[in-house]
Structure 1
């Protein structure tokens, strides 16, 4: 059944109202480039913190990074993905798997899962990020990774 010509203006009005409210789950804004050097810290539930130097490289929604502890000098690499383009803020999910020879999946002794939400610093560049780090250690008895408090906590990153 065709729509009456008198009804078309009435249907158009709600559509325009929703469009003017930017109705939708992902804002259509300029892409944020999260590549760069950051200084950061992890704050654990016990209040202790660790300072980090972080380098992030993104390409085609893939994210790689290098994390260096200022306290121990240890360096490890993280890999993951970022949220789709033109989404702001940008969320990056990354994993680092360290050590070898364990009975857990993949044979790693330690696993770090990182989620960081980068905020806009300028139209095209991220200023920094907040998020969290979950550190898990292989439990040989259960052959599963179990979360530990050490090196787990909230994450803060600021562009250098």
Structure 2
């Protein structure tokens, strides 16, 4: 009996490399740059440009106010990726976006868009309250907003 190597496998040299991650010191240093500045919540490019012109140190891209979404019985999810990308392309200041607690795929999508910071946010409807995202798996630093200290 002879053995034939399978032809449908990807050769080892062409495999996808493991994702790169930034060191904790790099991520913490980037977040420190926001200290003392104003981060404005914006829902479109026009508001992002106004925030930038007014001196905001960063903008948080939101489709709608999460509290209003929940009040009306909806699920507050990450914002539309198209809207986030439009804001990124329009301003020169850092752009942040929120993801639901425990929603790894939302964080991967947001990171792939090129945001400067991710907020795993308790103001959005949690996907998994017990298991938060492992922030060390991402190149993009995470920030933390909260409802109550």
Query: Is TM > 0.5 for Structure 1 vs Structure 2?
Result: no
Q: Max radius of gyration: which structure?
A: 1
Whose strand fraction is larger, Structure 1's or Structure 2's?
1
